[in-house]
């Protein structure tokens, strides 16, 4: 879901604005009169350096003068040039852990009422994104919540991605610098829990909401820091979650120290001149961060540097951990997806492999490349489960008609039968199956779980259902 852009509006810094006193000192924010909202932007929630764990803030500055929170802080790598420009981002840094708070102006709320808080985790396949991106803006949602007399405030944050956020290999595991992006998120949640009351938020009513990788992050935070015995160092950092286009997790078959991760790390060492160094990670940390990002992006890409089992933050494969009941059991969830999201996976896989998918053998090769540990008989079973001559859906994405194919081809995508078959397989694997596993486990424990499906009106497959629904509700 795209959230409309607001933070890019060319507003001059104000000489006076809303002030908030937090544990470390006072922040000066910016009032947004067109929305009757206050913005507090670029607030640090933790410190970190390259390929290091985040640490708590240890500085204070009092109340006079206040520190400015009028503009977004530096982003983590990689910056999107267009998004950075329109959101007034002026710097990129390895020390990028800052957040943004958007709240209704206190004058528009009942006096002394603490309001619910949404903490947003952005998507991007754990490969890109940042908290002040226009896709993370909440001003319109907050305005709607006030109009419905259910006011909320929102927190968006930066977390590290790619190799800088999810380094793999034996060295990273031995030094305990794994799943850094998830640890960044957790530090932000701790900061929000401790400080959000000063902004008018209710620390007992925090909801984590994420899209795609951000939705997967919601589950990772439910699984965080369980031991192999099923016990957990309890931290009640949020009370509910919303997962948009996400599932249990994409790291089900990955360990941070397995052969694939180690080989990719060795390639980075070779590319940066650190191969053979006595302390490989220390050598890599001395590489200019822009160069390190570029070199690491050339090795493995989006399917390599993402959350993985590390015997610390994630103690076992996420699906197995859920099935074993080792997750926070008092957090209701709302989870769902858009119709036909498997097309995004199909497009990504064919682009990454630069292979066509016109024949079943080409489809087989793409699946084997995506699931390298799968046995041949497993791939055969998948292909039999999604027969080429079966009705679509469910065995393939919708049978093409001229409008449907024209829409896909207009954005450079394909529309053949094998391509739509790949889309159905990947959509079910990446989104539907994991959500159903989670929902069944929640039902087993009696935890509230709500599912939805967002129907895209532009699809010829879904248009009749949408028109019927609109007629029934007299719209």
Nearest Cα neighbor of 446 from 275, 332, 365, 294 is: 332
Q: Any idea which residue has 């390639």 for tokens? A: 267
* Backbone phi, psi, residue 368, to 5°: -65, -35
Q: Percentage of the chain with pLDDT > 70?
A: 88
Instruction: Pick 122 or 470 by higher pLDDT.
Output: 122
Range of lowest pLDDT (173-182, 285-294, 397-406, 456-465): 456-465
- Return the HEC string of 175-223: CCCCCHHHHHHHHHHHHHHHHHHHHCEEEEEEEEEEECHHHHHHHHHHH
Transcribe 45-75 into DSSP letters.
Answer: --B--TT---B------EEEEEEE-SS--PB
What's the mean pLDDT in 376-391? 92
Looking at the predicted structure, is the pLDDT value of residue 124 above 70? yes
Residues 162-187 as b or e (16 or more Cβ within 10 Å = b): bbbbbbbbebbbebebbbbbbbbbbb
Residue 109 confidence (pLDDT) = 84
Residue 90 confidence (pLDDT) = 74
Residue 181 confidence (pLDDT) = 97
Residues in the chain: 475
Average pLDDT in the chain = 86
Residue 144 confidence (pLDDT) = 93
Residue 469 confidence (pLDDT) = 41
Q: Which domains does the chain carry?
A: 19-258+304-331 (3.40.50.1820), 342-472 (no CATH)
Residue 135 confidence (pLDDT) = 76
Instruction: Pick 45 or 137 by higher pLDDT.
Output: 45
Range of lowest pLDDT (89-98, 275-284, 459-468): 459-468
Residue 6 confidence (pLDDT) = 35
Residue 371 confidence (pLDDT) = 86
pLDDT digits (tens, 9 = 90+) for 5-55: 333 333 333 457 999 999 899 999 999 999 999 999 999 999 999 999 999
Instruction: Pick 347 or 450 by higher pLDDT.
Output: 450
Transcribe 295-339 into DSSP letters.
Answer: HHHTTTGGGTSS--B-SSS--S-HHHHHHTT-S-TT--EEEEEET
pLDDT digits (tens, 9 = 90+) for 168-227: 999 999 999 999 999 999 999 999 999 999 999 999 999 999 999 999 999 999 999 987
Range of lowest pLDDT (91-95, 265-269, 446-450, 454-458): 454-458
Q: Any idea which residue has 């053949």 for tokens? A: 416
Residue 253 confidence (pLDDT) = 64
Burial (Cβ within 10 Å: 0-12, 13-18, ≥19) of residue 218:
buried
pLDDT digits (tens, 9 = 90+) for 338-352: 888 888 888 888 876
From the list 212, 240, 247, 264, the catalytic residue is 212
To the query of whether residue 212 is one of the catalytic residues in this protein, the response is yes
Going by pLDDT thresholds of 50, 70 and 90, the confidence category of residue 247 is confident
Residue 10 confidence (pLDDT) = 31
Q: Any idea which residue has 């840094």 for tokens? A: 93
Q: Percentage of the chain with pLDDT > 90?
A: 56
Residue 468: how many CB atoms within 10 A of its CB? Answer: 10
Going by pLDDT thresholds of 50, 70 and 90, the confidence category of residue 137 is confident
Instruction: Pick 232 or 437 by higher pLDDT.
Output: 437
pLDDT digits (tens, 9 = 90+) for 157-167: 999 999 999 99
Residue 9 confidence (pLDDT) = 34
Residue 7 confidence (pLDDT) = 36
What's the mean pLDDT in 388-398? 81
Looking at the predicted structure, is the pLDDT value of residue 88 above 80? no
53 near 42, Cβ under 8 Å?
Answer: no
Instruction: Pick 303 or 258 by higher pLDDT.
Output: 258
Residue 350 confidence (pLDDT) = 82
325: alpha, beta or left? (left if phi > 0; alpha if psi -120 to 50): left
- Taking the alpha carbons at both ends of the chain, their separation in whole angstroms is 22
Token couple for 194? 């401790």
């Amino acid at each position: 879901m795209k959230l409309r852009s607001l933070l890019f509006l060319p507003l001059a810094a104000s000489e006076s604005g809303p002030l908030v006193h937090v544990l470390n000192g006072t922040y000066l924010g910016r009032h947004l009169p067109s929305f009757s909202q206050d913005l507090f932007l670029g607030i640090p929630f933790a410190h970190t350096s390259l390929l290091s764990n985040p640490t708590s803030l240890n500085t204070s500055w009092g109340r006079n003068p206040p520190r400015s929170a009028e503009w977004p802080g530096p982003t983590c790598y990689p910056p999107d040039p267009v998004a950075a420009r329109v959101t007034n981002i002026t710097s990129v840094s390895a020390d990028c852990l800052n957040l943004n708070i958007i709240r209704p102006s206190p004058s528009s709320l009942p006096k002394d009422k603490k309001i619910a808080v949404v903490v947003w985790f952005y998507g991007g396949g754990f490969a890109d994104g940042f908290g002040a991106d226009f896709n993370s803006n909440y001003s319109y949602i907050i305005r709607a919540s006030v109009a419905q007399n259910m006011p909320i405030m929102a927190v968006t944050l930066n977390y590290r991605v790619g190799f800088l956020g999810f380094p793999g290999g034996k060295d990273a595991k031995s030094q305990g610098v794994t799943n850094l992006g998830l640890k960044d998120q957790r530090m932000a949640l701790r900061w929000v829990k401790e400080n959000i009351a000063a902004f008018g938020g209710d620390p007992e009513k925090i909801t984590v909401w994420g899209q795609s990788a951000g939705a997967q992050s919601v589950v990772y935070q439910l699984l965080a820091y369980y031991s192999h015995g099923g016990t957990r160092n309890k931290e009640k950092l949020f009370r509910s979650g919303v997962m948009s286009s996400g599932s249990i997790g994409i790291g089900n078959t990955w360990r941070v120290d397995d052969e694939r991760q180690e080989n990719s790390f060795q390639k980075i060492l070779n590319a940066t001149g650190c191969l053979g160094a006595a302390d490989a990670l220390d050598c890599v940390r001395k590489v200019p961060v822009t160069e390190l990002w570029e070199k690491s992006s050339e090795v493995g890409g989006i399917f390599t540097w993402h959350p993985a089992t590390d015997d610390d933050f994630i103690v076992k494969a996420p699906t197995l951990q859920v099935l074993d009941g080792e997750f926070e059991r008092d957090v209701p969830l709302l989870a769902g997806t858009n119709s036909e999201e498997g097309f995004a996976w199909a497009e990504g896989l064919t682009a990454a492999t630069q292979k066509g998918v016109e024949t079943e053998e080409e489809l087989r090769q793409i699946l084997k490349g995506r699931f390298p540990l799968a046995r041949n008989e497993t791939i055969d079973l998948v292909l039999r489960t999604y027969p080429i001559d079966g009705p679509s859906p469910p065995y393939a994405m919708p049978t093409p008609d001229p409008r449907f194919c024209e829409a896909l081809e207009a954005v450079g995508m394909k529309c053949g039968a094998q391509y739509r078959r790949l889309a159905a397989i990947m959509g079910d694997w990446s989104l539907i199956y994991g959500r159903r596993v989670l929902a069944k486990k929640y039902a087993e424990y009696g935890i509230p779980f709500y599912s939805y499906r967002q129907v895209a009106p532009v699809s010829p497959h879904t248009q009749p259902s949408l028109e019927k629904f609109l007629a029934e509700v007299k719209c």
